[in-house]
Structure 1
Amino acid sequence: MSALRGEMQSRTGSTKPVDPSSLHMLVYSYLLHTNCGRTAKAFARTSGLASSGRLLSSDAPPYLSAAANTIDEDVSVDAVPVSKAKGKEKTQADAAAPSPTHSAARQGAYAPGVVKGSTRGGAASMAHDGFPDSGGSSDYQGAERASELIDHHVEYLRIRQSICASIEAGEPEVAMDLLSTYFRAVLIPPPSSENLAVSSLPFRREFEATLLRFRLDTQYYVELIANHQELDALQFGQRTLWRYPEIFEGWLEHSLGFGAASCAPRAATHLEGAAPARELHKPATALNGNGAASGRDAKAAGNGVNDGDGDGDSIVPREELKMKRAEIMQHITDVAALVAYPDPRKSTLAHLLSQDRRRELAAAVNEAILTSMRFPREPALVTLIRQLATTSAYLVGYRSSARSPASPSGDRPRPRQPWVLDT
């Protein structure tokens, strides 16, 4: 750590000391981002992040200082009742059964759950959350809350690892159960119900969540075929996969006339906010012929249709909807054809059963989870090192061109182009 700090000072030419806590948070964030849970926890203890309370300060990034993904079912991943038997889905009684709560975990019925989320702030938030606002114990309370926050980070990292491992092991149904419990903003509800629980307009966030759910559902179909459960695969395909074209057809239909109702009130969607699940998962009006469906969410659509910045409230263009609908139809046709082969692994569609395809899906799910937790696409430490290397390379090239001697003929030397690091 001291070497990195010295390198930054020498390259930038700054004599101002670098705050070690800032470097510690960069390294800690990088370890969380790259799924190094045990190392991240050990580093937080040894570097002092767990005892200094720095994670709760205003200098900490929001994705580290707030437990944004705390949900109603504050349970450990070990307590999630998932079925690993392919071809078997939860019954209505199982779905209606309440999930184990944090109080049950404390009683010993389940493993300890995820800590409740803390909010950014100082003594005021501590007093609001039940901590006495006393100067003598504020340091201890800050360290205690920082330690709980670190446990929260590591617990959700472990859940994320379990989700990705389940996909790579050929058990996407386990991953979907965990996602539905801990990261509801990542997926839409199962489309196999009578009412399609999506918005009538294709908001970007819900559009991406639908595509990710489709990839997981098609992978589940492929895994059923790979395990010689053709009948279960056919039933699942008819009940679930063929509902996705209906979703896109509804979006295409309702996106034609949303501008006429641009002043209509905006209703809550399943993925509203993509923030704490205690606030966002309200039932959305389904595409079931409701007379008000054609105008719903039109106000937000009018505000976001031309943004073009990938915001979750922006409307997906019709051209993109048409293209994705065609891709979905083609992909459904491909995976449905697997049932016709006695040995799909020796067919022309064998790539659908490859391990690389599982890894790609796991990486996409991991990225979606990190996005829902407000993590940047690239670890901040990697971004800073990349910027430092590029800036240093530019400065080296500039200084070299400035020191170049004049040519013998007396002509002024042409300035050398700075060397640019290929990033």
Structure 2
Amino acid sequence: MASTPHQEELDPRDPRSLLVHARDARAAEEAHGREVFIAAARWALAHPAADEWDSACVPGTERELAIAGQGAPLVAEFCIDEFAAAIGLSTDAGHYYIGDALELAARLPRCWRRVEAGQVPVWRARKIAQATRLLSPEAVALVDQRLASFAHSIGGRGIEQTVRAAEAEVDPEVLRARREAADDKRHVTIYSRHVDFHGRVDIEGALDLADALDLEDALAAIAAQLKDLGCTESLDARRAMALGELARRETPLTFDAAGEVGPPARSKRTLQLYVHISHAPGQNPFGTAARVENTRTVLDLDTLRSWCADADTQLHVRPVLDLAEHRSSESYEIPTRLREQVILRDVTCVFPHCTRPARSADIDHIVPWDEGGTTSTENLAALCRHHHRIKTHHGWTYTPVDPNDTSGPPGSYRWTSPHGQQYLRTPTGTTQLTTTA
């Protein structure tokens, strides 16, 4: 393995050598990051949108894509995927990364020249790009003029103030409309993708005072009822439980003859779980935990048992599917059990670095049906709609890894891009196989 700068001289008893090493390593990291960022802008400029206006009239084919602000060149939609995969990003993350680079190169030329010269770090330049993307060409030119000299040191608040001042001078009506829209900060955000081991999530919200007071009264009342019914949890825990109780009640927005809202109806909680067990007796591959598909998290089995034991929980028991079993159909249409097997095996879209859930994805015939491909376990895979279009219309190809091949477990695929870059996608992540151009 090649050594990093000063690695041979590193001595934990010599603080100075450690500082020198850290400084040089950070400088090298920033230099490489700058080269990648510059390459992203050049890649976007090298892939302009097609001139043929009718190319996107064919369903699924490549479209023009606006990834930077007004006046920046439109790019060919599918170019994002190849560059993103090459630098280890998902398509969505690559869209924003390349968009930031193009925003600077096309609309903030003064700031961009300082990035190219190594005078402004990429992370700070990206903050500027993200703050200016909605500005008109006139306003962004004013920001570029005022900000370029200080781009290397200005903070987030300074960027925001410069952007808003330029917008107030050039586009006062647009700024006024944006402020009015931003005044309404009401929201309720449930962080369902951030579930802890015991199945808890955070909720954040901002409500009108009247709605907040009504919610407070409802939580207090239900928390008191839970205590009267013998619940020994703390008040905070009972209030959290009360919010769940409210969620499981249906309150129709209809009124009776007296103009009063009728009593809420009780509804059952629907809980759908996928539990995978080992063929070996007494062995659970998840230990004392289980994977919940909906949130893509691992939860404590005791928590799941408590959910299932709730009298108000409606359980759906589905047949056990062997993910290694061969299934097939004589028709193009995919039977329900075969579709479910593919979804549970692949978990997400199988394109490199993509994490979109398989349950909302298309099920693709790897070898197309009209080219002799079968509707079978070995010839089907989950692809989100975007990456299904990429595979069908833009030259990406993939093959499943042979089950006897030790390079990847079931649900592993080898991908080849239009430019010959190769990737191994497994259920645990993506590895780039191509090391040279």
Normalised by the length of structure 2, the TM-score is: 0.21
Greater share of helix? 1
| Larger Cα-atom Rg | 2
Higher relative CO (CA 8 A, sep ≥ 6), structure 1 or 2? Answer: 1
Greater share of strand? 2
